[in-house]
Structures are given as structure tokens and as C-alpha cells.
Amino acid sequence: MESVYLDNNATTKIDDRVFAAMRPYLTNHFAHPSSSHLLGAKVREKIERARDSVAVLLGTSHPDEIVFTSGGTESINTAIKGVLAASLTRNHIVTTEVEHISVLNICLYEANHWRQVTYLPVDREGRLDLDELRRSFTDHTAIVSVMWANNETGVVFPIEEIGVIVKERGIIFHVDAVQAVGRIPINLRKLSQVDLLSLSGHKFHGPKGVGALFVRRGTKLHSLIAGGPQEGMRRAGTENVASIIGMGKAAELASIYLEEENTRVRQLRDRLEAGIIEQIHGTRVNGNREKRIPNTTNVTFSGCGAGKLLKDMEAHGIYTTSGAACTGGLSPSHVLMAMGLTPSEALSSIRFGLSRYNTKTEIDYVISVLTMIAKNLKTGVSLSLTASA
């Protein structure tokens, strides 16, 4: 087998139809979307259709609630910093210990600038204690920011329940839905508690460097980037036209493939998980197995270092990681440590992220290669050495 890509929580393959939709806007249709002539108007029209597609995927009837950004990180920065800047009296952020590094580093920055941050813990299965959430509020809480789905374990937080608790106190609620969009249904008409929601194009077979922030009408938010009047004065700068159009196409396709993510992709993930657990002694799945996005599993291989395991898998054309791509390196995952794993267990854990491009043949290949590798690692033989010999 040439290669098996199982790192879809880091990024996904761009869909050919997405690239085809983008191409003309990198070549012939290059006009500025704010130009008042016909060529500009045609580009503007395509941007608005992309906004419609993202709105449909998120289940909002108001496309003007979608603000295009340069990706998940910018959306999250705009949400948290924008809410704090717009609030004169509130300076407290509530978030969780298992957030993506983009959220954690904003919180670190804000804490260094005299704002207060509460980090909610999770249990062994990666779940939040909602009473802890209730207890965390003060009269100065400006925003609660939690992720919908964890990028390392796939564990899903109960967004509706959290939203009800947050809104009882009149606090702004931001959801980092970067790993959830395109993998589970999202209906912001029904989830009226969510004020802000971040997403990223490259996690659902769109291009990299483009994302969106859902801003519910009436939410008080300062713009992060000052300049022109683009995006309803909420994000200045000439639009990344081709990428926005690409993300619009990816959103349209994600709406169609949502069913497949939750059936075929889920079955493949479960097959991989069951195969690993049955075949390899001392393996354990991390995170609640019921409340998870359908494409992700995180497994601890006791007695096998993740670094070696990954190298040996790569020698057989299997690509995945030990955790978040953005954190890099092989230090123990903050997510797994927050769930109570020891550093050595965390350093023996691997994340597998599937997509609609994976097949049953690939998954069976991965199970058989992993079984052989794990057996050899436990007896001290490295396959990356034998493969390169």
C-alpha cells in the first residue's frame, strides 16, 4: 500500500471540486470584490454565495452572521479579544484545561495583561463537570470559551447544556467548533445560546488559511483587525477570494457528506479501534467513547513509545501523529495529562483521524502493520531500522 493518511484532525485533503471552484478566482476572475464595476460585482456575488453555504452548514438563517477570517486561530482571537475589548467592566474568561493551544495562548496573554482566567478541569474520560462551570462565574465574567470537539481525543462537550448555564448569567458564549464542523450536525437556529462560533476551512476538505467566525446578531464585538469596511466592519482587509469560494464549496459538500461521516467513517474508526484493542495487548482508548466525533480515536499503547511507533508506521506509509500538529514535538499532551494520564502513558498515545477518503482495505492494513510493529517494539525490534536497512 502506497500511503494511508490518518491525520485528518491536523488537516484534510482538499476536495477536487473545491479546487476546481477556486481556480477561476486565482486566474481569470481576479477583480477586487469591492470594485463597483461588473467584474468586481461578479466576484462579490460568489463571496456572498460562499457565505450562504457556510450559513447553511451551521444552520443559521442569517448569512450576515458569518464573518470570513484567515482560519480557526484568527476567528478564536477575534471572538475572545473582541469580546473583552467591547466590555468595559468584565475582565474574566472561563475556559477549559483541554482547549486548543490557540485558545490557551490567548488566555495566557490576557492573564499577563491583568485579566483573570479560570481553566475548568475534565475527568478521566475528558468530560466537563457542569457544577464546576456554574461555580466559576463571577460578576466580571465576560466570556466562556469552550471547544465543541477535542482535537486530540474527539470528545464532544455538551454545548447546549453549557450554553443554557452560561446564558442564565448573561455571559457571552464562544464555541471553538474547528473539529466539529463537517463531522457532526450543527444547528445554530436551535442552539440559540451560542453567540460566537469558530471554524476552519482546512478541517473539512477546504483550503488552508481561511475560516469563519459566526457572530450572532446583537453580539457586542470589537474588530481585531482595523482597516477597510469589509465583512460588515468586523474584519478589515481585501478578502481571500479564492479561498473563501473554496471554503463555500467545501461547506456545500460537507452538508452532503455529513451522513457518510456519521455512518461509513464512524464504522471505519470503530473497526480500527476494535482491531487495535483485540490484536494488541495493553492498548486503551482515551476519552468517552459515546460522546465523540465520528472520525477520531486516541489510543495508548502501553510499553511502546509514540515516537518509535510513529516512525515505524511511517516506514510502512502510515501517517498520523501523537497529538495536536500545532504543538509539535513529543512532549506529553496537555489534554491527556488533564485527563489524568501519566506522562509516560501520554507519551505512548497516538491520535488517529479518519476522513471520507479512507477505505476498509486501508484500515485493515493499518491494523495488521500496527500489530506487527507493537509486537516488535515490545520485544525491542524497530521496524524503521529494518525497513531502511
State the residues that interact with ligand PLP by CB under 6 A: 71-73, 100, 102, 147, 151, 176, 178-179, 200, 211, 326
Q: List, edge to edge, every strand of the sheet that includes 296-301.
A: 283-285, 296-301, 349-353
**Which of 71, 163 has the CB closer to ligand PLP?**
71
Least distance from ligand PLP to the Cβ atom of residue 386, Å: 33
Q: How far is the CB of 27 from ligand PLP (least distance, A)?
A: 25
The per-residue DSSP string of 148-195 comes to SB-TTT-BB--HHHHHHHHHHTT-EEEEE-TTTBTTB---TTT-TT--
Provide Rg for the chain, Cα atoms.
Answer: 22
Set 108, 326, 381, 385: catalytic member: 326
Compare residues 336 and 369 and give the one whose CB is closer to ligand PLP. 336
Least CB distance from residue 244 to ligand PLP, whole Å? 14
| Among 202, 147, 197, 146, CA closest to 12 | 202
Let me know if 107 is a catalytic residue. Answer: no
CA–chain centroid gap for 74, Å, is 13
Residues in contact with 109: Cβ distance below 8 Å, sequence separation at least 6, in sequence order: none
Q: How far is the CB of 321 from ligand PLP (least distance, A)?
A: 11
Identify the residue whose cell numbers are 506487527: 372
In the complex, the smallest distance separating the C-beta of residue 231 from ligand PLP, rounded to whole angstroms, is 17
Contacts (Cβ under 8 Å, ≥6 apart) of 36: none
Closest CB to ligand PLP among residues 208, 378: 208
Locate the DSSP E strands across 34-171. Answer: 66-69, 92-96, 116-120, 141-147
User: Closest-CB residue for ligand PLP?
Assistant: 72
State which residue, 87 or 150, has the beta carbon closest to ligand PLP: 150
Q: What does residue 175 show for φ and ψ, rounded to 5 degrees?
A: -120, 125
Q: How many helices (H) and strands (E) does the chain have?
A: 14, 12
Nearer to ligand PLP, 181 or 341 (CB): 181
Q: Which residues are catalytic?
A: 326
